Amino acid sequence: MEIWHNPRCSKSRAAKQRLDDEGVEYTERRYLDDAPTEEELDHVLTLLGKEPWEIARTKEPAYPKLLEHDRAKWIAHMVANPSLIERPIIIDGDKAHIER
């Protein structure tokens, strides 16, 4: 299991605490410091059943207001600007979800 975590985010801290409280073994990926590759993000999006614009943080300065819905362009932009990726994402084998 892996959690894409931002320690400054309260939702992310709460999700990490829940995993700790449940005694779950996981790998913590601070995705702002260790951004996913385009292939990794594409894979996680597939597991989520989402398109990149569906998990983008719209209030971030890097949010592409005029970018067409081209999956590859969005993925490249999100990898270059990982703060756009909604958090936290928990990946468990062939499943993933965004903790709310």
**Contact (CB, 8 A) for 86 and 68:** no
pLDDT classification of 91: cutoffs 50, 70, 90: very high
- Cα separations in angstroms, 40 against 10, 33, 92: 24, 15, 14
Q: Which of 3, 4, 7, 9 is catalytic?
A: 9
- Cα separations in angstroms, 33 against 5, 9, 67, 68, 69: 10, 14, 25, 27, 26
Q: Mind listing the pLDDT tens digit for each residue in 13-48?
A: 999 999 999 999 999 999 999 999 999 999 999 999
| Tokens 């970018």 found at | 67
pLDDT value at residue 21: 98
pLDDT value at residue 90: 98
83 noted as active-site residue: no
Q: Mind listing the pLDDT tens digit for each residue in 72-89?
A: 999 999 999 999 999 999
**Contact (CB, 8 A) for 11 and 94:** no
